[in-house]
Amino acid sequence: MNPQRRRWLQQIGALVPLVAGRPARAQAAPAPGGAAAGPAPAGVAAGSAPGGAAAGPGPAGAAAGPAPRGGAAEPVAEAPADPVRAGRPLVFPQDHGAHLAARTEWWYATGWLGSEAAPTHGFQITFFRSRTGLAVGNASRFAARQLLFAHAAVTALSPAGHGHDQRIVRWNGAPDAPTGHAAIGRGAVQLAGWSLQDEGAAWHARVPGRELGLDLRLARTQPLLLQGQAGFSRKGPELRHASHYYSEPQLAAGGRLVLAGREAQGKGRAWMDHEWSDEILSPDAVGWDWIGINLFDGSALTAFVLRRADGSALWAGGSFRAAGAASRPFGADEVRFTAGRRWRSPATAASYPVEWQIDSPAGRHTVRALADAQELDSRASTGTVYWEGLSELLDAQGRRVGLGYLEMTGYVGQLKL
């Protein structure tokens, strides 16, 4: 065996415990008591639809598998370079798809079912892609160029409950691998039977399962929202800490959820994010706090802060878009998160602020979790623990004006992507 092949096999062997492709064990814990799409926003290439029509059926790349008997498998080419940079226009539907040269990427959908006054359930599904940096220049179909992860969670408010599950596989980037793939040029991610598919007018999210599952249609009602400066979102004082980032707020959600074997059906509202980066976090950042809230008047509020180890803000950002209006991006000095009531996880002992006062150009708001126990232990896939949960947005008078999701990372240990 030549030395190069030996080194490559050693690298793959180091990944085997992480990427066997088996589903991780689901975990559950009790929780305590619009308008039609308009013109494409600035920064979207001319001629591209806000949502983009889905391409025809067919696989779009997935985990490595053995070559068929009787012949060698086709080699897999390296992904072309497309660095994250200011001024790069986002083009749709192509940019709904994967960007395999970027180091990190995720597609993220959250939402709720029920009524604005009495939501019954929250849901989250996230697909992650991570470029490993292994086997560069090796065209073998066994090369683990990418890792694919997926997380799903369901929260019930009455009776109270929360559950989550996770998946992970290695992927060589080939367009015909069956166990997991992320399509290029169209929004389609699949991993061990879980999927998120752009169908043109809507996203279709599917997680089959008897104990925890979902099957939801998330229909577009508004144009895309490009975060930051035309989709270039700074994440730190240095320009290299940035991502391409867009959101799809005010999605009309409908379908079914399963938690602890109980099925619920309904309608509600959802939020979709897609983000990719070459280097998203500064070494000084231990994690972030983030909200994506659909307001009842059709507006959308995004806000985030990246924290240092002492809890101070390293960077901040976000945006506000009123229904039918242009988005107003926030500067790093225009957003402030002030922690309120905290909840301590009995599983990890992490202390999470489950109530925040958030000051931004959109005004002063309070974000409050609708259930405390919405922690996700994903150490079997992404290797981290974070809090992600259904929350309400209150105005300065204490009135509920929106619902959405609060995400908090870096409370168990420094987040590493």
pLDDT, average across residues 336-340: 98
- Report how far residue 210's alpha carbon sits from residue 309's, in angstroms, rounded to the nearest whole number: 40
Task: State the pTM of this model.
Answer: 0.83
- Given this model, what pLDDT does residue 190 score? 94
3-state secondary structure of 224: coil
pLDDT, average across residues 182-203: 96
Query: In this predicted model, what pLDDT tens digit does every residue of 222-254 receive, in sequence order?
Result: 999 999 999 999 999 999 999 999 999 999 999
**Residue 415: which pLDDT band, with cuts at 50, 70 and 90?**
low
Q: Are strands 146-157 and 180-182 parallel, antiparallel or unpaired?
A: unpaired
Q: How many beta carbons lie within 10 A of that of residue 261, not counting itself? A: 10
- Ranked by mean pLDDT, which of 34-43, 46-55, 259-268, 374-383 comes out on top? 259-268
**Residue 144: which pLDDT band, with cuts at 50, 70 and 90?**
confident
DSSP tag of 328: E
Where do the domains of the chain lie?
Answer: 26-31+86-409
Cβ–Cβ < 8 Å for 128, 148: yes
Cβ–Cβ < 8 Å for 382, 149: yes
3-state secondary structure of 283: coil
Find the range with the poorest average confidence among 38-47, 133-142, 377-386, 393-402. Answer: 38-47
- pLDDT at residue 285 is higher than 50: yes
Q: Which CATH superfamily is domain 26-31+86-409 in?
A: AttH-like domain (2.40.370.10)
Query: In this predicted model, what pLDDT tens digit does every residue of 9-37 receive, in sequence order?
Result: 344 344 433 333 334 434 433 333 333 33
Average model confidence (pLDDT) for the chain? 84
